[in-house]
Amino acid sequence: MLLSEMKENQTARIVHIGGNGALRRRILEMGILKGSEIYVEKYAPLKDPIELIIKGYHLSLRVEEAAQITVDNVK
Amino acid sequence: MNQKRLSIALAGNPNSGKTTIFNNMTGTRQKVGNWPGVTVEKKEGHVKKFGYDLKIIDLPGTYSLTPFTIEEIIARDFVLEERPDVVIDIIDASNLERSLYLATQFREIDCKVLFALNMADVARSRGFKIDDKKLSELLDVPVVFTIGNKNQGIDTLLEKAIELAESSYEIPKKRRVKYSKDIENSISSLKSFLDNWTEESIPYNTRWTAIKLLEDDKIVKKRVLSKAGENSRKILQEVQIHRDFLVDRFDDDPEIVMTDERYGFIAGIIKEVLTASAKQRIDISRNIDLVLTNRFVGFPIFVFFIWAMFQLTFSLGAYPMEWIGMGVNLVSKSLAHVLPNNLFKDFLLDGVIAGVGSVVIFLPNILILFFCIAIFEDTGYMSRAAFLMDKIMHLIGLHGKSFIPMLMGFGCNVPAIMASRTLESEKDRKLTILITPFMSCSAKLPVYIVLAGAFFGARAGTVIFGIYLAGIILSIVTGRLFRSTLLRGADAPFVMELPPYRAPMIKSLLIHMWDRSKIFLKKMGGIILIGSVVVWILSAFPQNISYSLDYNSAISEIKASYNAKIETAHESEKKLVAKKRDDTVAELIKAKKAEKAEKSFMGSIGKVLAPVFAPIGIDWRGSIALLTGFVAKEIVVSTMGVLYAADETEDSAALQNALLSSGMTPLGALAMMAFVLLYMPCLATVAAIRRETGSFKWMIFSVVYSTLLAWGVAFCIYQGGKILVT
């Protein structure tokens, strides 16, 4: 499942991070790593971007960026 | 006694409370400028403490030292090239894991680094317990707890920093940040290769250089190669061999693997130093966000905040603006009494004082606006605003944060363009600056009111609304056009932290506000002053105009004849005659002014340009008015008043009548309004564009583009309209 397909208040485990070089590395540097747990706090009122909680802090990503991230164990 | 000088650099993640600590250390003794070549703010302060003269440099907030953004390049280059005596890495203690990512990178550079675990109180209240001794031991770095907003631990921090700076540096015996075996092997083999092969020694520690080369760091690669001379090719080959091996081994780029491993290393540290005792307590910040970014009320609240900021800036700001205006008038008038009538007096009053006045008058707006923006930024609301607006702005190819400058443009473009500082990406900032002038500013409104009022009567409101709308549409078109041509590339990725809400500190708000306003006064004042003087010279010279009529003697003749009439007139008619006399004299003075304007250099230029303006239905008088509008758009109306020889009264009806009888058509008026909407921004705005893009070229580009667009649109309206009408 893609991170962009998750619903609000769901938790999941990150399986794979795709995308091109710089953006991909930036995402990793912000702590979105394979194996980390990620929580979807909410979608913006216009459904884009997404607010996530990772490693105890809040981060936002655009839906198109979140679509590069594959997750499993969605709860 | 000469005090010993030390330089201390403050580094850390955005929102780690770095600026608060900087403010507490340096107080108001700050120097704010830009880093060379870019428009990222550089802050410096001097403190005398513990017998030392400390120079403190506030590095831009970054999450990493990977050179992706300007901020990261600046921070890294400063540490590498300027070699500060100590780097203090300010770590948000309540967000330890991610903060340590930057910290481990400083550890790798082998500079003297010190960790400040800031917001220790917040961390504690969240139930986090950090073992500072263990952390210090594990990373071999001094660690100090601080509470920036309560000014706790700052002195200890400085003391430790001085101690560290004065200690002799020893290359750590044991490598603290370790990677997996394959990577470590590649690093050490590449390191010894570098040690052996480079003729001139590499300026940075070779282990770090090896790591960066493995990560394919473009900047480090370039610098190493420039030092390596003939060996460049061999180094490149060697690096490639190792990279290929690692790609093969991990099935991913080495830089990705190493990022992953750094976090792995950090996870190990976290396990040892951090104990989270209490369960997640009620998170106030999350609750605030439930309302402020709520699906239903989020936008209305946002609109309210923006409206409030607008109101404060332009309505509240109008009072001090008026006082400043009166003050400038007062100075001007009292000088007019004192000084003898000569050219210098005109120069001083109409050139210098009027010019300075036109700058200072914006100060209240700027101060209030930057105060509001500082509140948005310091509380953390700014990132929520970007979060809300990003979807819409993304359609134009812009970042969510571009919304605020664009909106401010409706008030005044000068603060609006300065507000674009909040955008991190240089391209986004430039694009925002280029399209903001199309947001019709409040100074253009009087021009629309006069023209639309004269030619469109009851439909004036609709016409003016249409003009505003045209500005918005053209800014969108321009945004998309530039995004796909000049400023190509996607807008900055929206990987943005939403920091917890924090109560702003008055001191920091005031420092923020004043720093930015100072830049406005200092840097733009000069340009505007020169510009005003030039425009004054153009409209005041040549001095000896041969008037078609000897106005002065005509005036005294009329005065004499009327005065004679008054003598003989009946008591009841005296007043009437006196009024008639004054009216006639005023008429003559006006005619003289109009002729003076017509025959000045400005008038000559206007007449030369008349053929250019003719196809868009603007006569030479209109073109002079537009030219003078370069100083400030308000002047367009007053120049038209002079040239169309209307009464200089507050009410615009006289000018409207004069315009109606001047041969201007409704179509011409519409074309002129469109031209005023779009053509080159006023002098103050142009100065702001120069300042904020940091380049003369972009300023010229903006002026040329907007003027060409203005002419094109006005041409289509006038000529197209003529075809439609007939």
Q: For residue B514, how many other CB atoms are within 10 A of its CB?
A: 17
Inter-chain CB proximity B295 and A22 less than 8 Å: no
Domain assignment of residue B215, given as a range: 181-250
CA distance to partner chain B, nearest, from residue A16 (Å): 12
Query: Residue B90: its pLDDT value, please?
Result: 95
Q: Which of B42-46, B372-376, B515-519, B620-624 has the lowest mean pLDDT?
A: B515-519
Report, as an integer, the average pLDDT of B12-33: 82
Confidence of residue B566 (pLDDT cuts 50, 70, 90): confident
Higher-confidence residue: B394 or B3? Answer: B394
Burial class of residue A50, CB neighbours in 10 A (0-12, 13-18, 19+): buried
Question: Does residue B582 lie within any of the structural domains?
Answer: no
Domain assignment of residue A58, given as a range: 3-72
Query: Residue B74: its pLDDT value, please?
Result: 85
Confidence of residue B377 (pLDDT cuts 50, 70, 90): confident
Give the residue carrying structure tokens 């190990």: B268
Percent of chain B surpassing pLDDT 90: 22
Residues in chain B with CB shorter than 8 Å from the CB of A34 are: 260
What is the side-by-side strand order in the sheet with A37-43?
A69-72, A11-17, A37-43, A50-54, A57-61, B496-497
Query: Residue B652: its pLDDT value, please?
Result: 61
CATH number at residue A33: 2.30.30.90
Helix, strand or coil for residue A39? strand
Residues in chain B with CB shorter than 8 Å from the CB of A44 are: 293, 298, 387-388, 390-391
CATH number at residue B201: 1.10.287.1770
Q: Is B131 on the interface with A (CB under 8 A)?
A: no
**Structure token pair of residue A5:** 């397909």
Question: Of B63, B66, B93, B60, whose CA–CA distance to B78 is shortest?
Answer: B60
Confidence of residue B490 (pLDDT cuts 50, 70, 90): low
Residue of B nearest to A46 (CA): B391
| B547: pLDDT strictly greater than 90 | no
Query: Residue B2: its pLDDT value, please?
Result: 65
Share the mean pLDDT of chain B: 84
Question: Does residue B558 lie within any of the structural domains?
Answer: no
Structural domain total, chain B: 2
Write the pLDDT tens digit of every residue in B87-98: 999 999 988 999
Query: Residue B183: its pLDDT value, please?
Result: 92
Helix, strand or coil for residue B348? helix
Write the pLDDT tens digit of every residue in B170-221: 666 566 678 889 999 999 898 888 887 665 667 778 888 899 999 988 888 8
Q: Which of B12-21, B369-378, B445-454, B534-543 has the lowest mean pLDDT?
A: B534-543
Report, as an integer, the average pLDDT of B260-281: 83
**Cα gap B87→B405, rounded to integer Å:** 34
**Cα gap B53→B500, rounded to integer Å:** 35
Inter-chain CB proximity B293 and A65 less than 8 Å: no
Write the pLDDT tens digit of every residue in B97-132: 999 999 999 988 878 899 999 988 888 888 888 999
Give the residue carrying structure tokens 């607008």: B310
* Residue ranges in chain A modelled with pLDDT below 50: none
Question: Does residue B510 lie within any of the structural domains?
Answer: no
Q: Are B621 and B662 in contact (CB under 8 A)?
A: yes
**Do residues B76 and B202 both lie within one domain?**
no
Q: Which among A23, A29, A45 is the nearest to B259, CB-wise?
A: A29
CA distance to partner chain B, nearest, from residue A71 (Å): 17
Residues in chain A with CB shorter than 8 Å from the CB of B66 are: 25-26, 29
**Do residues B186 and B216 both lie within one domain?**
yes
**Do residues B123 and B209 both lie within one domain?**
no
**Do residues B148 and B125 both lie within one domain?**
yes
Percentage helix, strand, coil for chain A under 3-state DSSP, each rounded to 5: 20, 40, 40
Q: Is B153 left (phi over 0), alpha (psi -120 to 50) or beta?
A: left
Q: Is B256 on the interface with A (CB under 8 A)?
A: yes
Pick from B24-28, B281-285, B707-711, B721-725 the range whose average pLDDT is largest: B707-711
Residues in chain B with CB shorter than 8 Å from the CB of A48 are: 390-391, 394
Query: Residue B226: its pLDDT value, please?
Result: 81
Residues in chain A with CB shorter than 8 Å from the CB of B387 are: 44, 49, 51, 60
Question: Of B333, B246, B276, whose CA–CA distance to B131 is shortest?
Answer: B276
**Probe site for chain A from B271, B286, B495, B501 (most A CB atoms < 10 A):** B495
**Do residues B70 and B105 both lie within one domain?**
yes
| B491: pLDDT strictly greater than 70 | no
Inter-chain CB proximity B493 and A33 less than 8 Å: no
Confidence of residue B650 (pLDDT cuts 50, 70, 90): very low
| Residues contacting B387, CB < 8 A, separation 6+ | A44, A49, A51, A60, B293, B400, B496, B498
Report, as an integer, the average pLDDT of B369-393: 87
Q: Is A16 on the interface with B (CB under 8 A)?
A: no
Q: Are B193 and B181 in contact (CB under 8 A)?
A: no
How many Cα atoms within 13 Å fall on the side-chain side of residue B471?
Answer: 26
How far does chain B reach from its first CA to its final CA, in angstroms? 88
Confidence of residue B35 (pLDDT cuts 50, 70, 90): low
Inter-chain CB proximity A45 and B259 less than 8 Å: no
Write the pLDDT tens digit of every residue in B494-526: 788 898 898 888 888 888 888 777 766 775 667
Structural domain total, chain A: 1
Give the residue carrying structure tokens 């002799």: B168
Query: Residue B100: its pLDDT value, please?
Result: 94
Report, as an integer, the average pLDDT of B251-263: 90
Q: Which of B450-464, B519-533, B568-582 has the lowest mean pLDDT?
A: B519-533
| Residues contacting B316, CB < 8 A, separation 6+ | B368
Q: Is B425 on the interface with A (CB under 8 A)?
A: no
| Residues contacting B438, CB < 8 A, separation 6+ | B409, B471, B472, B474, B475, B478, B677, B678, B706
B250, B268, B289 - which closes a domain: B250
Inter-chain CB proximity A26 and B495 less than 8 Å: yes
